[in-house]
Amino acid sequence: MNPVVYILSKLPFRVFHPLAGIAPKLFAGIYFRKCFGRELNWKHPQDINEKINWLKFYGDTSQWPLLADKYRVREYVKQCGLEELLVPLFGVWERAEDIEWDRLPEQFVMKTNNGSGNVLICKDKSALDRQYWTKRFSELLKVKFGNILAEPHYNDIPPLIIAEQLLDSRVQDIPSSSLIDYKVWTLDGQPRYIVIYYDRTPQQVKVDVYDSQWHAHPEYVHPTVHFLRGDHTIPCPKALDQLLESASRLCQGQPQARADFYIVNNKPYFGELTMTASAGFNTSYTDTFKHLLGNYAHLPVDKL
In a domain, 68, yes or no: no
pLDDT of residue 300: 86
What is the average per-residue pLDDT within 213-235?
94
Residue 284: other Cβ atoms inside 10 A? 21
Please tell me whether residues 155 and 200 are part of one structural domain. no
**71: which DSSP letter?**
T
> What local confidence, expressed as pLDDT, does residue 172 receive?
85
Same structural domain, 257 and 160: no
Alpha carbons 71 and 74: distance in angstroms, whole number: 6
- Asked if 108 and 23 sit in the same domain, the reply is no
Pairwise CA distance, residues 168 & 121, whole Å:
11
* Residue 217 shares a structural domain with residue 182: yes
Angle at Cα 266 formed by Cα 73 and Cα 191, nearest 5°?
50
- For residues 188 and 255, membership in a common domain is answered with yes
Sequence length of the chain is 304
Residue 303: predicted pLDDT: 63
Looking at residues 37-51, what average pLDDT do you find?
Answer: 97
What distance in Å separates the CA atoms of residue 202 and residue 263, rounded to the nearest whole number?
Answer: 21
Write down the pLDDT at residue 304. Answer: 61
Q: Count the domains in the chain.
A: 3
Q: What is the pTM of this model?
A: 0.95
> Which phi and psi angles does 180 have, rounded to 5°?
-80, 125
Gyration radius of the chain's alpha carbons = 19
Phi, psi torsion values for 207, nearest 5 degrees: -130, 130
pLDDT of 40 higher than 70: yes
- Could you give the CA distance from residue 292 to residue 235 in angstroms, rounded to a whole number? 24
The pLDDT value recorded for residue 302 is 60
Examine the fold and report which residue of 11, 37, 58 is the final residue of a domain before the chain moves on: 58
Q: According to the model, what pLDDT value does residue 228 have?
A: 95
In angstroms, rounded to a whole number, what is the distance separating the alpha carbons of residues 27 and 7? Answer: 12
In a domain, 64, yes or no: no
Q: Is 256 helix (H, G, I), strand (E, B) or coil?
A: strand
Q: Are residues 196 and 286 in the same domain?
A: yes
Strands 227-229 and 205-211, bridge-based pairing: parallel
Q: Which of 126, 142, 164 is a domain's end point?
A: 164
Q: What is the DSSP string of 172-229?
A: SSS--SS--EEEEEEETTEEEEEEEEES--SS-EEEEEEETT--B-GGGB---SSEEE
Query: pLDDT of 133-163, one tens digit each?
Result: 999 999 999 999 999 999 999 999 999 999 9
Q: Give the tens place of pLDDT for each residue, 86-127.
A: 999 999 999 999 999 999 999 999 999 998 878 999 999 999
Domain boundary among 130, 164, 198: 164
Is residue 258 within 8 A of residue 184, CB to CB? The reply is: yes
Asked whether residue 192 is domain-assigned, the answer is yes
Find the CATH number of the domain harbouring 147. Answer: 3.30.1490
| Helix, coil or strand: residue 262 | strand
Q: Would the pLDDT of 32 be above 90?
A: yes
Res. 271: pLDDT tops 90:
yes
Its domain, for residue 128, covers 88-164
The mean per-residue pLDDT over the stretch 279-304 comes to 91
Q: Residue 170: which pLDDT band, with cuts at 50, 70 and 90?
A: confident
Mean pLDDT of the chain: 95
How confident is the model over 5-21, as pLDDT tens digits? 989 999 999 999 999 99
250-261 average pLDDT score: 97
Residue with more model confidence, 280 or 1: 280
* E strands present in the chain: 89-93, 108-112, 120-122, 161-164, 181-187, 190-198, 205-211, 227-229, 256-264, 267-274
Which pLDDT belongs to residue 301?
67
Q: Which pLDDT does position 69 carry in this prediction?
A: 98
60-83 tens-digit pLDDT? 999 999 999 999 999 999 999 999
